[in-house]
């Protein structure tokens, strides 16, 4: 689907393993990155990791039809949903309520991941941990982790936005403590060097970790204590100003399609391929959960611009029906 102002679906809390908390305040990571960078893939990598941590995931999805819930691996924890709003503005209050609710639980988490929509500015989300006394008492901001799509990021970083409108992809890189340079297998060495140079022109201090399929040593992104408020205030003096406003790009819109019945895979493949070949430049991100004729598996379609793939729960992608 074509993307827009983040009118999103919030969701969910999912644990991994058990380990007693070592500190009183629970560390939190903000996971950000432009549309299709590989954030949900990283979430699944963390959920499958043998790290012994009990990790909660709070997920903010772009678009009016929720898809990421089907892509995140099934665990035993309940799901929290917040609909129709942007994590960095309209539903930030919902995020605070979820964090406060989790802090009152008898069973505490060792780490909390907050996965933002691809069009969210991470700064107002990070601000939450410093301007609300209850949140500040229960949680610490461990790091802002930004996933970068090495094959597609430069045009987004260089895009000229209307006056007063933020370039969210630039904000995501600028505020990052850790940058996962993802999909490096899809670019040449010279293309990768150009992306690195562009990233360093925006953020000289963040550690850059090269990945494919968002596979990273979790000790490099969890429990790293990388967020430095003093450094952020040097870059953005009004970081703690809760009255500040930001404007999203209204030229980016989303389309959601929900249909009953099943689809014939060859016809679907032809339609999607034709659509992305002719309009792929304008379609930042596309994804869907599909019921395919003759198959008991849940099929998943994912695309970034003209790149597309279809997989199924039988292949280990997402959950079955």
Alpha helix positions (H), 203-255:
229-235
| Predicted pLDDT of residue 84 | 45
Question: What does the alpha-carbon distance between residue 282 and residue 255 come to, in Å, rounded to a whole number?
Answer: 13
Phi, psi (degrees; rounded to nearest 5) at 107: -90, 115
| Predicted pLDDT of residue 217 | 94
| Predicted pLDDT of residue 49 | 81
Q: Average pLDDT for consecutive 10-residue bins of the chain (321 residues)? A: 42 47 77 88 84 83 49 43 48 79 87 84 86 91 96 92 84 94 96 97 95 94 93 78 59 75 86 81 76 84 71 69 69
| Predicted pLDDT of residue 17 | 45
Token reading at 37: 């960078």
| Predicted pLDDT of residue 125 | 85
Token reading at 220: 């490099």
DSSP output for 45-56:
HHHH--S---EE
Question: What does the alpha-carbon distance between residue 114 and residue 95 come to, in Å, rounded to a whole number?
Answer: 9
Question: What does the alpha-carbon distance between residue 22 and residue 223 come to, in Å, rounded to a whole number?
Answer: 11
Instruction: Classify residue 260 by burial, with Cβ atoms within 10 Å: 0-12, 13-18, 19+.
Output: exposed
| Predicted pLDDT of residue 23 | 44
């Amino acid at each position: 689907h074509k993307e827009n102002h983040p009118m999103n679906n919030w969701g969910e809390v999912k644990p991994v393993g058990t380990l007693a908390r070592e500190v009183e305040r629970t560390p939190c990571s903000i996971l950000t990155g432009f549309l299709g960078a590989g954030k949900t893939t990283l979430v699944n990598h963390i959920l499958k990791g043998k790290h012994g941590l009990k990790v909660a995931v709070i997920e903010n999805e772009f678009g009016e039809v929720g898809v990421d819930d089907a892509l995140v691996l099934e665990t035993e924890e309940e799901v929290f949903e917040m609909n129709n709003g942007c994590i960095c503005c309209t539903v930030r209050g919902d995020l605070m309520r979820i964090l406060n609710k989790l802090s009152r639980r008898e069973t505490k988490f060792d780490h909390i991941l907050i996965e933002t929509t691809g069009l969210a500015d991470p700064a107002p989300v990070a601000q939450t941990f410093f301007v609300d006394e209850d949140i500040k008492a229960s949680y610490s901001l461990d790091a802002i982790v930004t996933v970068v799509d090495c094959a597609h990021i430069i045009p987004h970083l260089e895009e000229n936005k209307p006056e007063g409108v933020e370039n969210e992809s630039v904000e995501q890189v600028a505020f990052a403590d850790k940058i996962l340079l993802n999909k490096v297998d899809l670019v040449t060495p010279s293309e990768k060097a150009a992306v690195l140079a562009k990233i360093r022109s925006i953020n000289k201090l963040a550690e850059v970790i090269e990945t494919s399929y968002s596979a990273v040593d979790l000790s490099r992104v969890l429990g790293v204590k990388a967020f430095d408020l003093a450094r952020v205030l040097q870059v953005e003096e009004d970081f703690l100003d809760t009255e500040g406003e930001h404007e999203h790009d209204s030229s980016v819109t989303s389309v959601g399609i929900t249909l009953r019945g099943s689809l014939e895979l060859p016809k679907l493949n032809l339609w999607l391929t034709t659509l992305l070949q002719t309009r792929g430049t304008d379609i930042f991100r596309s994804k869907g959960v599909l019921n395919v004729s003759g198959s008991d598996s849940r099929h998943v379609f994912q695309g970034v611009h003209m790149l597309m793939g279809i997989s199924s729960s039988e292949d280990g992608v997402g959950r079955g029906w």
